[in-house]
Amino acid sequence: MIWINFKIYRETFGDGAVRLAEVCRRVAKKTGVPIVPVVSALDFWRVKEAVGGEIWMQHLDAYFEGAKTGWQSPLAAASLGVAGVILNHAEHQLPPGQIRQFLASSRRPAWQKKWQRQLGKRLAKNLEKLKVMVCFRTKGQARRWLGRLDPRPDWFAYEPWELIGGSVPVTKANAAAIRHIREILPKSVPLAVGAGIKTAADVRRARQLGAAGVVVSSAVIKAKDPERALFNLVKGWQ
Catalytic site positions: 89, 159
Greatest C-alpha distance within the chain:
50
Judged by CB under 6 A, the residue of 33, 55, 216, 230 near ligand G3P is 216
Give the separation between CA 192 and CA 3, rounded to whole angstroms.
Answer: 9
Judged by CB under 6 A, the residue of 81, 96, 165, 190 near ligand G3P is 165
Q: How many other CB atoms are there within 10 angstroms of residue 138's CB atom?
A: 16
First and final C-alpha spacing in the chain? 10
Please report how many Cα atoms fall inside a 13 Å half-sphere around the Cα of residue 33, on the Cβ side.
Answer: 23
171, 193 Cβ separation under 8 angstroms: yes
Q: How wide is the angle at C-alpha 47 spanned by C-alphas 9 and 75, nearest 5°?
A: 100
Is residue 167 classed exposed, middle or buried when 0-12, 13-18 and 19+ CB atoms within 10 A define those classes? Answer: exposed
Judged by CB under 6 A, the residue of 74, 84, 196, 236 near ligand G3P is 196
Q: How far is the CB of 194 from ligand G3P (least distance, A)?
A: 4
Q: By CB under 6 A, is residue 153 in contact with ligand G3P? A: no
Count residues near ligand G3P (CB under 6 A): 14
Residue list 88-117, contact with ligand G3P (CB under 6 A): 89
The nearer residue to ligand G3P, 123 or 131, going by C-beta atoms, is 131
Element (H, E) at 152: none
DSSP letter (8 states) at residue 150: -
Q: By CB under 6 A, is residue 195 in contact with ligand G3P? A: yes
Judged by CB under 6 A, the residue of 103, 164, 185, 193 near ligand G3P is 164
Q: By CB under 6 A, is residue 214 in contact with ligand G3P? A: no
The nearer residue to ligand G3P, 20 or 75, going by C-beta atoms, is 20
Q: Which residue stretch of 118-126, 140-148, 177-185, 214-222 sits at the interface with ligand G3P (rule: CB under 6 A)?
A: 214-222
The nearer residue to ligand G3P, 127 or 197, going by C-beta atoms, is 197
Q: Residue with CB nearest ligand G3P?
A: 218
The nearer residue to ligand G3P, 1 or 123, going by C-beta atoms, is 1
The nearer residue to ligand G3P, 105 or 217, going by C-beta atoms, is 217
DSSP for 57-94?
ES---S--SSS-TT---HHHHHHHT--EEEES-TTS--
Helix-helix angle 121-129:96-107, to 10 degrees: 130
Judged by CB under 6 A, the residue of 62, 130, 159, 185 near ligand G3P is 159
The footprint of ligand G3P (CB under 6 A) covers: 5, 89, 159, 164-165, 194-197, 215-219
